[in-house]
Amino acid sequence: MSANDTSGEPGRRVVREAAPRPAAEGRASSAARQLDDVLALPDHLSDALWRVGSARIEPFDAPGGLVVCGMGGSAIGGDLAAVAFGNRLSRPLTTERGYELPFAMLPDRAVLCSSYSGDTEETIACYEAAETLGARRIVATTGGELARLARADGVPVIGLPAGLRPRAAVGYLFTVAAEVAALTGAAPGIRTEIDSAAPDLREASVALAARADELVESLRDSIPVIYGADLTAPVALRWKTQINENAKLPAFTATLPEADHNEIEGWNPGEEASRMSAILLEDRDQHPRVRQRFELTASLMEPSAHFVTRIETEGESRTGRLLWAVMLGDLLSLRLADERGVDPGPTALLDRLKESLGTP
């Protein structure tokens, strides 16, 4: 199967390859395209399950667990998969962002190299390091150098659909990480949870868009700081990076209870704190003391902050609640971009940095 092949199973909901984006694409059409990509998250989940199955990867035992190697939007899937499993993980599932594998890693750990473009230099370096170590590898990509190397080495490739911006492929990269964790024995399969989350997200999309509109009104002219814990910790990171990339706005993230041991002092009354807004992402599975900390932390921030809100995830399963919160954050980032009058598509500073480094 080619890395971008979506044909095959009769009756399957097929996610079509996106047409190339015109170079002179206007801000309005770019924003509309990205909104369509966010609202297509339920379809991405279903298609990703099919793509993993189509790769025909035989399950194998990796006693040391699984490490997901990736950067940016290609790495967040590993973080999200780990918290979706929660205490159902039987072996470590970690994400490595950088040029090297984890220190003192043994060859009994499987390695998932996740790069949407297939040309991420850090991920390619990890792929090569895993070969030197003798660790089993799996690749998830649309193509590029990573796909070329994997095919030459006989390493399984899970093909992702081209045409998305990497940040919009979160449904694919989460699902792939979760499925590979199950294939390598790191956790039980959660295919049923992923599958059932799709229709729930479709049904919730209108309400989520309205919620994003409300948040934009309150966040106007402030810098957001997003707090999470356990299930919502990587979701908070996702919100931050989406606001950075889509709204071209500084945003920050922290986790509880750690933030209560240092960062809370930064919310003392003053001009600086008055320019900041706090969004606290809560979930019913969080430790009772952490739940109490969310309430107390919010009350201490409110007198000095521009805006403070607590958001409770919604959904029946951990996976469903996780994806509900991801979709809300993605919608919020696009609404912030619209409010600020910026095109969420281009990444001028990222592109300049890559050009300076001489990377694709």
| Catalytic sites, residue numbers | 245, 261, 354
Is residue 100 within 8 A of residue 75, CB to CB? The reply is: no
Q: Where are the alpha helices (DSSP H) in the chain?
A: 27-39, 41-54, 76-85, 121-133, 144-153, 170-183, 191-219, 233-247, 271-274, 288-301, 318-340, 348-357
Is residue 313 within 8 A of residue 321, CB to CB? The reply is: yes
The three-class DSSP label of residue 61 is coil
Question: Which tokens in the block code for residue 44?
Answer: 């991405």
**Burial of 211 from C-beta contacts in 10 A (0-12 / 13-18 / 19+):** middle
Is residue 333 within 8 A of residue 210, CB to CB? The reply is: no
Q: Which contiguous run of DSSP H or E holds residue 5?
A: none
The three-class DSSP label of residue 234 is helix
